[in-house]
Amino acid sequence: MNLTINVVDEQPSKSIVYLAGEIDAYTAPDLKEALIPLMRQEDQVVAVDLAEVNYMDSTGLGTFVSALKSSKEYNSKLTLVNIQDRVLRLFQITGLDEIMDIRASIRGGSE
């Protein structure tokens, strides 16, 4: 399956990245190509909406770790929102839910 990536600039310093499909070894490079440049913008706030992502493997997790590292380097902010339970479980198993900002919704509180 493919991954659809739709980047919406809400404000000059805030973007929402809507994802749909599967994040795996085949699609993760496209996600990284879209996400990392956003994270390298000083003081950028990026919310990644994972509501339509039904599968992710370790390559996808690695992409989000790379994005998190870039966000710290460039003082930007990465938030993951609307994560389906089976994908959220990957973040919990690996402990990434402890270091990443994961929220129930774009406007809502934390999980």
Domain count, the chain: 1
What's the domain range around 49?
3-103
For the chain, the average pLDDT equals 92
**What local confidence, expressed as pLDDT, does residue 23 receive?**
97
Give exposure, 7-17, as e/b (b: 16+ Cβ within 10 Å): eeeeeeeebbb
Cα–Cα distance measured from residue 65 to residue 82, given in angstroms and rounded to the nearest whole number: 18
Which DSSP helix (H) or strand (E) runs through 1?
none
Q: Residue 108: inside a domain, yes or no? A: no
Residue 111 DSSP one-character state: -
**Entry pTM:** 0.91
Q: Residue 82: inside a domain, yes or no? A: yes
**What local confidence, expressed as pLDDT, does residue 11 receive?**
84
**Cα dihedral 9→15→19→24 (10° resolution):** 130
Q: Residue 74: inside a domain, yes or no? A: yes
Beta bridge partners of 79: 47, 101
Q: Residue 110: inside a domain, yes or no? A: no
What is the rounded average pLDDT of the residues 27-37? 96
CATH (domain of 54): 3.30.750.24
Q: Is the pLDDT of residue 111 over 50?
A: no
Q: DSSP string spanning 49-90?
A: EEEEEEEE-HHHHHHHHHHHHHHHHTT-EEEEES--HHHHHH
Give the number of other CB atoms < 10 A from CB of residue 42.
8
Q: Residue 81: inside a domain, yes or no? A: yes
More confident residue, 111 or 67: 67
Q: Residue 73: inside a domain, yes or no? A: yes
